[in-house]
Structure 1
């Protein structure tokens, strides 16, 4: 009877916390003190499309693993460090630029490209995150792909795409395998979903679903062997360094990890990332994918799928690393999104306020939601021809000009117009 009572009581408390939405940092002891006496009026569900709700994230932190110099030193024997300019001179694939007969429907559509035929059709790799930036005179998009096939798990690869001239017939790109150094001259794959990216300075941030955010140094790319031996191998093999046949590897340099002592509901998932340069401090955005079935979230209450949280992690402008105090970084603010199936986030750059965002979602097979703390969402739906199907990561140019997104592909089609994998950009003003 005691255990039954405790279980029922715990469920009651969790539901109350979920509905109240601001109690994310109430400890177990404190919850026990107030849970049975919580007024019924406070046991509220969430409302899809409602304004963003401020969330108390003071219980949450990440610790810098501090492997910056160690991991970099492990890779020195693999070969000379290469930066983006080197790789942009060695792009080996071409993705046709979309035309009037091949582009998908999206509000404010301006342009885009699809991948080559092999990458449109592969079932082994699926596009996920997207970020963009500048390398020298080149505009560059970076897209992450997670490995969806069976063992061995090849982890995550990224595509570096030169998007400087979208009036050309094709966008040139190259895949690079992400790796984690394991010792001097040795490395392995990064067995993660790669659901989101953000690019600051020389650092590429990637979502680590269960634990936090991994960081890769774009100045530390290494060339490895493409011999027949290396097609099925990773790391040091005899006198060669292998990466499953990929020509280049991008090594992890550190990670920001949520301590194991922080558990649900305080502990979030890191499903996707974004980049926000509004306000006085740049931030990396992180958010949770939630749905009504397999990925319900702690703050859903009576409305599973809506409790995904969005966090703002401050960036140190002098280092492009997250801003830490004694090796610890804390979110500067957080929100409950009131939207299901969120896959990406981008800031609305027409305002300096940090309380409005675009969210890409696979709700309704594809949607773009304009959200803020002050108004219910504005929705652009794929079923109405207003947005692309199955959108994933997003990037908004700080100038307020273009909003980019990548899709993972819909229904197995390789037709870019019918829902196949694309990278597109639209006019930010058209969806504002």
Structure 2
């Protein structure tokens, strides 16, 4: 199949010390460049404003729709027994690179302050064209608080295809990289295409949407969907990954079996969440720009940040839903008897262009801090990472002019791995992690 490694892999095995040394040199150069070219300090978005009115909270209510078990069963019987994440990892056919194995432009996309502890660029086979772009990350540390999922330590990265360029059949599609994080020197990965069952499980289509955020919680993967759909979130089951059997550009049932544009695995959706008031972007309902998991709440919660254009003067919303603890509802949101999930906390922020959100309450603290990754007003360049709460805002500064544009270029979602203390994210070129304690030190 065309996505199963028809390329010569570069030599593996660079020492981690050399990896980080190379990254540090590139980051130093990037800091100098940014310091010289950007002298303006961003507008401070100020403290978070709590939202409490029933009307404001009602706009955030979601309606759950689960795919009927019969539909999923019919698809599984036709395609063969579903597999788990371990099977996908064992067939990994790509390798992440680090240090000198990555181009200088890759390193320049990384945060300047705080500096990443780990940073990887993608296999050359996946960066030949700019049509596919990463935008989200989640880890097995989200899935299970002890860190691994079963025997595997993993990172999942969500990529979306351009809606205007590249092969017509691939436009708007979404895929997930399953990264084996057991070896930090040379992580390997394998792709799976996100799909949606159709015709009662007799076929499937590709998910056509920009995936700007992902959370892997228990056995479910929740992804944002904001393009070509009224649904706010799609839900996938990590125990329901299906193998394809035919290598062709088609997606779905084909003569002789099942195809997915050359991908060896597909993940069929098992449910959706849609704003009950209206479609996202209409009549007050927000379009989620990023999501993350917060394990510092009881129960664990799903955190969301609203997407607004980077030059918008409209306040964006940050809010959360509780996860369900009911039997048989692993990885799903807490809902009422009508299947509605209500936000349990919500705020407004003056930060616009949000492309990453994280909430965390330190032990002994009386309130949560919200970390918000913000795109710049311009079309390119480093972003800003804010830490906000109801008392005020802080941002890292870098360079001699103390610019606040120190965060990643083309910033993506944020994922906190509680066991290791690392925050994982992506740029449009690299996968990286920064210790949360380093983020807090840089924010003062």
TM-score (norm 1): 0.77
Kindly tell me: are residues 100 and 384 of structure 1, through their superposed partners in 2, closer, same or farther at Cα, counting changes over 3 Å? farther
Kindly tell me: are residues 243 and 55 of structure 1, through their superposed partners in 2, closer, same or farther at Cα, counting changes over 3 Å? same
Q: How does 1:106-121 map to 2 (within 5 A)?
A: 106-121=113-128
Deviation at 1:315, TM superposition (A): 0.3
Matched residue SS, 1:235: strand
Match of 1:290 in 2: 308
Q: Quick check: which has more Rg, 1 or 2?
A: 1
Residue range with higher mean Cα deviation, 359-368 or 136-145: 359-368
Q: 197, 221, 225: which one pairs with 2:214?
A: 197
Match of 2:354 in 1: 342
Kindly tell me: are residues 381 and 176 of structure 1, through their superposed partners in 2, closer, same or farther at Cα, counting changes over 3 Å? farther
Q: 404, 414, 418: which one pairs with 1:398?
A: 418
Deviation at 1:159, TM superposition (A): 0.6
Kindly tell me: are residues 311 and 55 of structure 1, through their superposed partners in 2, closer, same or farther at Cα, counting changes over 3 Å? same
- Verify the 8 A CA contact 1:207 1:273 in the aligned structure 2: yes
Deviation at 1:388, TM superposition (A): 2.5
- Verify the 8 A CA contact 2:244 2:263 in the aligned structure 1: yes
Matched, 1:387 2:407: yes
Matched, 1:250 2:267: yes
Kindly tell me: are residues 129 and 354 of structure 1, through their superposed partners in 2, closer, same or farther at Cα, counting changes over 3 Å? farther
Kindly tell me: are residues 138 and 331 of structure 1, through their superposed partners in 2, closer, same or farther at Cα, counting changes over 3 Å? same
Match of 1:269 in 2: 287
Match of 1:58 in 2: 57
Matched residue SS, 2:196: strand
Kindly tell me: are residues 377 and 70 of structure 1, through their superposed partners in 2, closer, same or farther at Cα, counting changes over 3 Å? farther
Alpha carbon RMSD of aligned pairs, Å? 2.4
Per-residue CA deviations over 1:45-73 (Å, capped at 9, x if unaligned) read: xx742011112332131111132524422
Match of 1:124 in 2: 131
- Verify the 8 A CA contact 1:366 1:381 in the aligned structure 2: no
- Rounded to whole Å, the distance in 2 between the matches of 1:253 and 1:360 is 30
Deviation at 1:354, TM superposition (A): 5.2
Deviation at 1:108, TM superposition (A): 4.2
Q: 188, 205, 220: which one pairs with 1:172?
A: 188
- Verify the 8 A CA contact 2:382 2:405 in the aligned structure 1: no
Deviation at 1:260, TM superposition (A): 5.4
Match of 1:216 in 2: 236
Match of 1:239 in 2: 256
Match of 2:370 in 1: 357
Deviation at 1:129, TM superposition (A): 1.2
Matched, 1:147 2:161: yes
Matched, 1:429 2:437: yes
Q: How does 1:10-25 map to 2 (within 5 A)?
A: none
Q: How does 1:283-322 map to 2 (within 5 A)?
A: 283-291=301-309, 293=311, 296=312, 304=313, 306-318=314-326, 319-322=330-333
Q: Give aligned pairs, total.
A: 359
Matched residue SS, 1:206: strand
**Structure 1 residue ranges without an equivalent (≥5):** 1-46, 297-303, 409-420
Q: How does 1:92-107 map to 2 (within 5 A)?
A: 92-98=93-99, 103=107, 104=110, 105-107=112-114
Q: How does 1:61-100 map to 2 (within 5 A)?
A: 61-76=61-76, 77-98=78-99
Deviation at 1:265, TM superposition (A): 4.7
Q: 319, 324, 328: which one pairs with 2:335?
A: 324
TM-score (norm 2): 0.75
Kindly tell me: are residues 64 and 401 of structure 1, through their superposed partners in 2, closer, same or farther at Cα, counting changes over 3 Å? same
Kindly tell me: are residues 257 and 94 of structure 1, through their superposed partners in 2, closer, same or farther at Cα, counting changes over 3 Å? same
Matched residue SS, 1:225: coil
Match of 1:138 in 2: 152
- Rounded to whole Å, the distance in 1 between the matches of 2:316 and 2:178 is 30
- Verify the 8 A CA contact 1:225 1:245 in the aligned structure 2: no
Residue range with higher mean Cα deviation, 358-367 or 184-193: 358-367
- Verify the 8 A CA contact 1:112 1:422 in the aligned structure 2: yes
- Verify the 8 A CA contact 1:284 1:314 in the aligned structure 2: yes
Kindly tell me: are residues 242 and 212 of structure 1, through their superposed partners in 2, closer, same or farther at Cα, counting changes over 3 Å? same
Kindly tell me: are residues 99 and 357 of structure 1, through their superposed partners in 2, closer, same or farther at Cα, counting changes over 3 Å? farther
- Verify the 8 A CA contact 2:236 2:267 in the aligned structure 1: yes
Kindly tell me: are residues 292 and 179 of structure 1, through their superposed partners in 2, closer, same or farther at Cα, counting changes over 3 Å? closer
Match of 1:187 in 2: 204
Per-residue CA deviations over 1:148-182 (Å, capped at 9, x if unaligned) read: 1352235100111112221x2x2101111000000
- Rounded to whole Å, the distance in 2 between the matches of 1:288 and 1:217 is 25
Kindly tell me: are residues 58 and 287 of structure 1, through their superposed partners in 2, closer, same or farther at Cα, counting changes over 3 Å? same
Matched residue SS, 1:377: strand
